[in-house]
Amino acid sequence: MTEIQRPIIEVRDLVVKYGERTVLNGVSFDVRHGEVFVILGGSGSGKTTLLRSLVGLLRPASGQIRMRGEDFTAMTEDERIELRKKIGMCFQGSALLNSMTVGDNVALPLREHTDLEEPTIEIMTQIKLELVGLGGFGDYMPAELSGGMRKRAGIARAMAMDPEVIFYDEPSAGLDPIVAAGLDNLIRKMQQTFNLSSVVVTHEMESVKLIADTVCVLHKGSVVGMGSWDELQESEHPYIKQFFARQPNDEEGDDSEYARNLTGLK
């Protein structure tokens, strides 16, 4: 398999535990170059744990994550740090540093991880801000931006090092439908402009419909379905049918118990 043919991310039989609790149980999938791969599931399904594993914040109990053909799970910490420079991360709350301007937030990865001269960093920072529609806002403080603008600033920072993969944790959470749609369009723009691979964790169905090339449905820590939006609409799996139809449980059942077990609640 050539580098072009190989998926940019390969996950095989991934098992992740918190103590004795198994949170992810035998998860496997591929993320292709240049696609938007959406991880979808209800609360407590294991979405966030999977994302944290993919970016190297959690070590699995077993299984393998290969990124760009390299075994991420077998790397030393120094090797993982080097590989992380090739990926971008957009946190749910943007995670901007409130004591720094928006421009300084975006420039931070370049100042920390490169030897570029300051004028070059300033030019690259301006380019990234223009890219997400925040040209002219570099001198603002994060508190002076709206929620949607902070999300865009977070994307600009994630793009600072020109990553090959960008990870999004609930990018539309807390946004009104119009702002959320604009963010969905921006994610698509990143993909189309840069052939960028995107991994998006969400439960926002309208966003999934708009942005996803491939949807991976998690339920109780396992993959129960994978395919395009249209393909999953035809799924006969009872959980997928219930999830896509937005049907509530008749009573508090297995899902609630599973979520409580993950969080230590009884």
Indicate if the pLDDT at residue 266 is higher than 70: no
Q: Is the pLDDT of residue 2 over 50?
A: no
Read off the pLDDT band of 79 (50, 70, 90).
confident
pLDDT at 184: 92
The string of pLDDT tens digits covering residues 236-254 is 999 999 888 877 776 444 5
pLDDT for position 251: 47
What is the per-residue pLDDT across 47-71, written as a single tens digit (0 to 9) for each?
999 999 998 888 899 999 999 888 8
Residue type, 32: R
- DSSP-derived letter for residue 98 is T
**What per-residue confidence (pLDDT) applies to 172?**
84
Contact 221/213 with Cβ under 8 angstroms? no
How far separated are the first and last CA of the chain, in Å rounded? Answer: 48
> pLDDT of 137-161, one tens digit each?
999 999 999 989 999 999 999 999 9
For residues 78-97, average pLDDT: 85
The closest of 182, 252, 173, 233 to 210, measured between CA atoms, is 182
With contact defined as beta carbons under 8 Å apart, do 84 and 56 qualify?
Answer: yes
Fold held by 1-85+191-266 = Rossmann fold (3.40.50)
What is the share, in percent, of the chain residues with pLDDT greater than 70? 91
Better pLDDT: 94 or 188? 188
Q: What is the pLDDT of residues 155-194, one digit of tens each?
A: 999 999 999 999 999 888 878 889 999 999 999 988 888 8
Q: Name the residue among 217, 213, 242, 240 with its Cα closest to residue 229.
A: 213
State the residue for tokens 């609630």: 256
User: Of 150 and 263, which is predicted with more confidence?
Assistant: 150
Residue 37 pairs in a beta bridge with 199, 214
pLDDT 10s digits, 186-240: 999 888 888 899 999 988 888 999 999 999 999 999 999 999 999 999 999 999 9
Is-contact 97 85, C-beta < 8 A?
no
Residue boundaries of the structural domains of the chain = 1-85+191-266, 87-162
Smallest CA-to-CA distance from 12 within 75, 49, 58, 54 is with 54
At residue 99 the predicted structure's pLDDT band, cuts being 50, 70 and 90, is very high
Q: Which sign, positive or negative, has the C-alpha torsion 201, 12, 85, 4?
A: negative
